[in-house]
Chains A and B, each alone.
Chain A
Amino acid sequence: MLDVFCHWLQATPLSLLISTHFWIIPALQTVHILAIASVISSAFMIDLRLIGLVRGEQPADEFAARFLPFIWWPLPILALTGALLISAEPARSLENPSFGIKMALLLGAITVTLLYQHRAAHLGRALRVGIGCMSLLLWTGIVLAGRWIAYTQP
């Protein structure tokens, strides 16, 4: 079923356009990485603040609010560049275990981010540290799984 979809997607004009112009894939990947840079640096700043490794004069929730837009607004860019990269070589990711892991971790990271976005001010210290660590691990896992897509091709 997935295989049929991959073959169909690969035959679309969009897929052909991307895969026959050698510079489009590295260009899309560069935009993808720059958007990830925004997400990772912002998420890590918040996580380190939640854990208590970064001290700020602002309370954790105000600190988080400053960096949160730089997590949320790159996400549509990541979805778009990611979707275009998939359309160029569907089987490379859709049938790749690393890609599945990356998407599962992404779901987790978004859930944790939403959690502290709405609850950071009301969390006890232990819970704040726990959520900070969880977010740190999830975002790290996303980058690692993303890089492994290149090495675990079906």
Chain B
Amino acid sequence: MPSLHPILQFLQDTSFATAIREGDSLFPWIECVHVLAITFVVGSIIAVDLRLLGLASRDRRFSRLNAEIVPLTWSAFAVALTSGFLLFSAKAVQYAANLSFELKMALLLLAGLNMAVFQLLTIRGVRAWDSGPATPLSAKLAGGLSLSLWIGVVICGRIIGFTMTDISS
């Protein structure tokens, strides 16, 4: 991506990015926070997905489960995003050229889109299936897509560790 290169280089040259890249343990500590936040994000989203698929929490109202879990998911996502951005900044040029990283971002975008469609459209009809274990096809589709996309995000994230030079796997 030649047009993005100056921006990536600028980001990478900022004092915080340099400190993360050159520090002894800053990168691993931020990575720890990133992994911790992601485990919560992915685990909690999968809990909602399984309810949408009718595979778990079948006796819970969907709207209650959603209200109970999703605000926490967003908080953890904010932490994952911030820590992820800091990690990215340390080697912005190299990450941007990494296929697994690009794929991870694409999958994240799709997961966000899927969620937006669900929260804006599908959930309008929630009253019809809120309390029963059976969910409509649109809800199952949203849950199944979300589940697959987030598993894809984890797979790509892990592969980044093996395809970036200089970074411990």
Query: Residues on A close to B: CB < 8 A?
Result: 22, 25-26, 29-30, 33-34, 36-42, 44-45, 48, 54, 56-57, 66, 70, 140, 143-144, 146-148, 150-151
Other-chain contact of A54, B35, B38, B57, B72 (Cβ < 8 Å): B72
B98 CB to nearest A CB, Å: 14
Known contacts A48-B72, A66-B57, A143-B35; is A150 also within 8 Å of B169 by CB? yes
| Structural contact, A37 and B28, CB atoms closer than 8 A | no
Q: Which residues of B contact A146 (CB under 8 A)?
A: 35
Q: Which residues of chain B are within 8 angstroms of A26 by Cβ–Cβ distance? A: 155, 158-159, 161-162
Residues of chain B in range 39-90 having any CB-CB distance to chain A below 8 Å:
39-40, 42-44, 46-47, 57, 60, 64, 68-69, 72
- Given A38-B46, A70-B47, A150-B169: A33 in contact with B158 (beta carbons within 8 A): yes
A41-B40, A41-B43, A144-B32 known; A34-B72 Cβ under 8 A: no
Residues of A within 8 A of B68 (CB): 45, 54, 56
Taking the complex as formed, is B154 at the interface, i.e. its CB lies under 8 A from any CB of chain A?
Answer: yes
With A and B bound together, what is the CA distance between A66 and B162 in angstroms?
37
25 contacts between A and B (CB under 8 A): A26-B155, A26-B162, A30-B154, A30-B158, A33-B39, A33-B154, A36-B39, A36-B43, A37-B39, A37-B46, A38-B46, A39-B39, A40-B36, A40-B39, A41-B39, A41-B46, A41-B47, A42-B43, A70-B47, A143-B36, A144-B32, A144-B36, A148-B32, A150-B161, A150-B169
Task: Return the 7 tightest CB-CB contacts between A and B, nearest first.
Answer: A41-B43, A37-B43, A40-B39, A37-B42, A150-B168, A37-B39, A41-B44
Task: Give the size category of B's interface with A.
Answer: 20 to 34
Shortest Cβ distance from A22 into B: residue: B162
Decide: A39 near B43, CB < 8 A? Known: A29-B158, A30-B154, A144-B36.
Answer: yes
Q: Is B31 an interface residue (CB 8 A)?
A: yes
Determine whether B151 belongs to the interface, using a CB cutoff of 8 Å to chain A. yes
User: What B residues does A36 contact at CB under 8 A?
Assistant: 39, 43
Residues of B at the A interface (CB closer than 8 Å) are 25, 28, 31-32, 35-36, 38-40, 42-44, 46-47, 57, 60, 64, 68-69, 72, 151, 154-155, 158-159, 161-162, 168-169
State the majority secondary structure of interface residues on A: helix
Q: Is the CB of B36 within 8 A of A34?
A: no
A44 to B73 Cα, complex, angstroms: 11
Q: Given the complex of chains A and B, what is the CA–CA distance between A101 and B34 in angstroms?
A: 20
| Residue of B43, B69, B154, B168 contacting most chain A CB atoms (<10 Å) | B43
Residue in B39, B161, B169 with the greatest tally of chain A CB atoms within 10 Å: B39
B40 shortest CB reach to chain A, Å: 5
How far, in whole Å, are A114 and B9 apart by their CA atoms in the complex?
A: 50
Q: Which residues of A contact B159 (CB under 8 A)?
A: 26
Look across to chain A and name the residue whose beta carbon is closest to the beta carbon of B42: A37
Among A42, A44, A57, which residue has the most Cβ atoms of chain B within 10 A?
A44
